[in-house]
Amino acid sequence: MFFVMFSNRIALANLNKFLAIYFREVDPDHFGEDNKELVRLFERDGELKRVRPPVWARKAVFYRDRGRCTGCGVNLSGLIDTFDVAHYDHMMPLSRGGLNDVTNLQLLCERCNKRKGDRVTVPSNRYRRWY
């Protein structure tokens, strides 16, 4: 089930949009003294600090998106053009309640990522046909 869902960026973006509605309401000050490690995860109320995705998450997103920018389709494998750099973008930006979770990441080239910024956009529906 996870494999099928993980392949569908539009469904994942909608899931993360839904989760962000609730996550934006999180006030880390209410965690209390026993949960200081949770407080350190937050930039401010409802916004997590940016962290580099772990290697396993970057590999999973890279393979799911077939090594191509989901915005413009440019090849980011480094085999065709070594100057195109892969960016792991939060579909639902952290500043809008997005999570640092593999289900909230998509592969973008530098140009598409800078153009998107912290806006919420509809992810590409460019998928590999299986039949």
Summarised one tens digit per residue, pLDDT across range 81-113 is 666 789 999 999 999 999 999 999 999 999 999
Single pTM value for the model: 0.83
| Nearest Cα residue to 118 out of 28, 12, 20 | 20
Tokens representing residue 107 in the block: 């592969």
| Number of domains composing the chain | 1
Domain presence at residue 55: yes
What local confidence, expressed as pLDDT, does residue 42 receive?
87
Q: How far apart are CA 23 and CA 62, in angstroms?
A: 26
Domain presence at residue 122: no
Domain presence at residue 125: no
Domain presence at residue 38: yes
Domain presence at residue 126: no
Domain presence at residue 131: no
Q: How far apart are CA 120 and CA 35, in angstroms?
A: 31
Domain residues for the domain of 56 are 2-116
Residue located via tokens 């077939």: 66
Domain presence at residue 18: yes
Please write the tens of the pLDDT for every residue from 35-52. 888 888 888 888 899 999
